[in-house]
Amino acid sequence: MSNLQLRIMTAAVLAPVTILLIWLGGMSFRVLAVVIGFAIFFEWTTLSASKQTRSGLTAAWAVLSIAAGLLLIEVPSLQILAILAAGAIFLIQRSNWAAAGLLYAGVPMVCLAILRGDTTSGLIAIIYLFALVWATDIFAYFTGRTLGGPKLAPRFSPNKTWSGAIGGVVAAMIAAAAVSYFSFDRVKYPMVILAIMLSVASQIGDLGESWVKRRFGAKDSGKLLPGHGGVMDRVDGLIVAAVMLYVIGALVTGSDTPSSMFIGIVLQPL
């Protein structure tokens, strides 16, 4: 079976499942967020195995598992994030890479679950997030290949260009406007402006993951997704953008509840 056939088969299975879980929200999406978090941490620790210690790895898995369990029983997100931060501080003297991996996997796991929640506004928020990240990825790739030009960050990823980065941001703005229009019957410009920041964050996440792979001489982050490489390869931009959206929402509204978070962002002038 060719790599293209594997990619198509994997996408054909995962895409409908992911869409269904996004639609259902609540516990269903929390489980998806936990699976993503565990997959990221597994790939992170596999990539950085040469920098890991057995004790550090064991402790990191324990903290991540506790955080996931608390997330599933709906403990407030700030408490879970505090546990992850404390775990990272404990780990940093044993293994910097384990500490970094715990935060890289655990914080987005929490943010994704809280952003979706089980409300209609949470559904809009997560569709908005996925739409602008996917638009960024797709159009950054095709714009960069078409227009070429100066490299964006050759030290981290030699194929990415400034033209691609700009094309990705423009596409994210269009995607945000479309989600806004279909959700609220008009374009809410704070959503479009916010999309610029989230698109940039998404591309930084992509570059960061590329740097980690280059640091350890790996082409892909793993082999969990046949034909696609690893989970980190597919969600590197999404998880960084999710964290930024969560943080901005919490700062704007003073709340970590998904409906007030996203509606607050939409209604507040930026």
Nearby residues of 117 by Cβ (< 8 Å), 6 or more positions away: 25, 26, 257, 258, 259
Nearby residues of 74 by Cβ (< 8 Å), 6 or more positions away: none
Q: Tens digits of per-residue pLDDT, 117-155?
A: 888 888 888 999 999 999 999 999 889 888 888 888 877
Nearest to 155 by CA among 92, 211, 110, 116: 211
DSSP letter at 188 equals -
Amino acid at 87: G
Q: Tens digits of per-residue pLDDT, 23-67?
A: 999 999 999 999 999 999 999 999 998 888 888 899 999 999 999
* pLDDT over 70 percentage in the chain: 90
CA separation, residue 129 to residues 132, 156, 187, 241, 242 (Å): 6, 25, 16, 7, 7
> Tokens 């088969």 — which residue?
9
- Give me the pLDDT at residue 270, please: 39
Phi and psi torsions of 92, nearest 5°: -60, -25
What's the whole-model pTM score?
A: 0.91
Position 259 pLDDT exceeds 60? no
